Structure 1
Amino acid sequence: MKKNALLLALLVFTECFHVGITYAQTNFINGDLLPDAPELATRGKYSIGVQTLKLVNNNQLDVLHSKNGKDSLYNRPLTVEIWYPAIIPPDKQQLVEYDQVLGSSNDPKRPLIPFKFMGRALRNAQADKTDGPYPLLIVSHGYLGSRYLLTYLTENLASKGYIVVAIDHTESTFSDAASFASTLLNRSLDDLFVLNEMARLGNKESKTFLSGLVNAENTALIGYSMGGYGALNAAGAGYSAQAVKFFGQMTGGSKALEKRMTGNAAFSASLDPRIKAVVAFAPWGMERGVWDAEGLKGLTVPTFFVAGSQDDISGYEKGIKAIYDGAINADRYMLTYINARHNVAPNPPPTESITPGLPLDEYLRYAEPAWNERRINNINQHFVTAFLGAQLKGLDYKKYLEVKENSNEATWTGFKPRTSVGLELRHAKP
């Protein structure tokens, strides 16, 4: 009798255990903490609202339709998503559904696959201006990508008292992919335009929800891949003559990129003192000669690089690490995921949201072969919080950033025992 009772209890426990695991898995939202998440990955004290804005940058060069040396202009549309500290009514949940697609609109072999995923924010919530205005963070996705590619990070940072604005870069998203030339020209220009727009809309006289909410004088740029390419340029790393030549070959001779080149008067005039820091995830371009030594000297703001040691898109030794080494006038860090490739920034693959049989190419836009992407997300939350907290808020996070270079040799501050492995963190000063 006792044996049967024990067996029944074991069966009940096992069933409850499996039900619990199933519940936890189906309720995991991008950015939630794994048990081994480092200390600063935890969300901040603020509840989060989210809104979508449609912006237009008038009279911009339409590089896709300029021919025979004659420039064509257009009013360039930009959709942005804004996360901000908010007041959540007692009868509302801090949940939002994001609409996303996989595939590429300019590749018939990769048809668009719509999917939805959840986030921890409330759509159109009332802004919490108690501690405002808040520092501004501008987030730029890769090619291809979207403003929803890094929601694990954008929500997390907003909860810590930032206004986080992620851009859908026109002609560079999954849904409206066009020639790479548009991305090469427009990334830094989009960043600077959005900075100006957020300053305008955050003005106390503005009649938008951003009024009095945004401190654009205290801004950081966050970019992934081509987003990193643009963010570094917007912050002072002028492009090389080789980059201008490469752009011209793609566009039939256009020299429009010259205005973003080292030594160009227009480029020098565009440098904005409101940009106080940069976070560059796997920035593209160094292996293609986008920067030379002189161009990298122009980067003077504190910069935090994130890289995979096996990055086969941006390159590591001759790519991201070469940028880090060459930016000799910047106080800079470089976090390296050993054996990771290029996907050290995005949300996890949306396998739970889509029917089985997700094409490998779409899966590999998000997944890291040697790493758990949710683990990467938590580590990024931790280090970006430390870096931006130090640079924009003056917080004493030195202990999280001044650690032994090789994480295998000592447990890093903020990491649970036995969990800081497979990482390197370099630091160099001007």
Structure 2
Amino acid sequence: MGHPTPLLIDATGRDIHGEAARIRARGPVTRVELPGEVEAWAVSSPELLKRLLTDPRVSKDPRQHWPRFIDGGITPDWPLFTWVAVQNMFTAYGGEHKRLRLLVSKAFTARRTAALQPRIEEITKELLDAVEEAGSRNELVDLREELCYPLPIRVISELFGLPEGNSQELRELVDRIFDTSAEPGEMNAAYERLIAVLGELVAAKRKSPGDDLTTGLIAARDEEGGTRLSEQELVDTLVLMISAGHETTVNLLDNAIHSLLTHPEQLAHVRSGRASWDDVVEETLRRDAPVASLPLRYAVEDLALGELGGPEGVVIRGGEPILAAYAAAGRDPGLHGADADVFDVTRADKEHLAFGYGMHHCLGAPLGRLEARIALPALFERFPSLELAAAAGDLGHVESFISNGHRRLPVRLG
């Protein structure tokens, strides 16, 4: 490969796109070192990534396919333990993954997502009212705090049938799970608490069912095998949906607003009808993947990458971990040309892997897109003179190499 020393991944995520460029510069796949001295193969070529994400010889289950995990070398004090040790659809493999996904998709249907539209519109209006009120009191309003954060957590809380008061705690717990620079104990404690909160929710819904996703998951049955989700699987599925469904949408909204405010000519394209809000959403997902890199997958057997259209002579050995480098793939010049770094809503091909690909493609993608398609036009119609109130370098970054978003998004409403 010409790069014997693995590229050290920065756990604080200070320079996600700089790091993505360094990963790409080493070729379609390269060795990296994750926090806690764990080495993995980072894959940044969109074509190779798609092939690996759909290859049955690539697993997400460390209990079956990662020798270091099986041998006890990966313990709960590893910073990313929660990300690989959860037992749900996210880490399931083969027939087990198929069973879980079937059961979850019976409850989390396109109809249930579409039915949320009026409620998302109402919540968006309430939040924009609050933004306007905050703007009348202060010169600056932090849109990440006042809009990007509360919208997805309120939507997901209502989708789950969670009591209103739980939103704030849920948000803080999910934040801690995504913070890859935190102490391992903090992430694990947050995960334990999240399990407890959602376990209480499942117990409550068993007693008094409602018209919500939790009740739907409890009722979901696999007609062929007659199986249902076990208690553990139910809670773990809700954990997956809240962590995958909240943080990603927060970052999608944040990055879209930031990109439009820093590229007024692109906003002009949308306002004049030369581009649509869908174009904004897809170009944001491509250029600023809400999940920059996702740990981990494992080779079930030796994979000769030349046979998969990758570099000849490179073999990922059975049991070696793989990191899906989505932020790097989204700006791949091989796919998107020399201007792959540029935010261009009129770009003809906005292909991206921001929601994953293949059997693990994100079930919540339609909901994330729906929230963005509702919130973005509503925001820019309500505040046509909106402007960013800080230089790019002053916005900070979420302390994570997984989650790709700003720490704050201060604006003047104008």
- TM-score bracket, normalised by the shorter chain, equals under 0.3
- Higher relative contact order at CA 8 Å, sep ≥6: structure 1 or structure 2? 2
Structure number with bigger Rg: 1
If each structure's helix is expressed as a fraction of its own residues, which one has the higher value?
2
TM-score w.r.t. length of structure 1: 0.26
TM-score w.r.t. length of structure 2: 0.27
If each structure's strand is expressed as a fraction of its own residues, which one has the higher value?
1
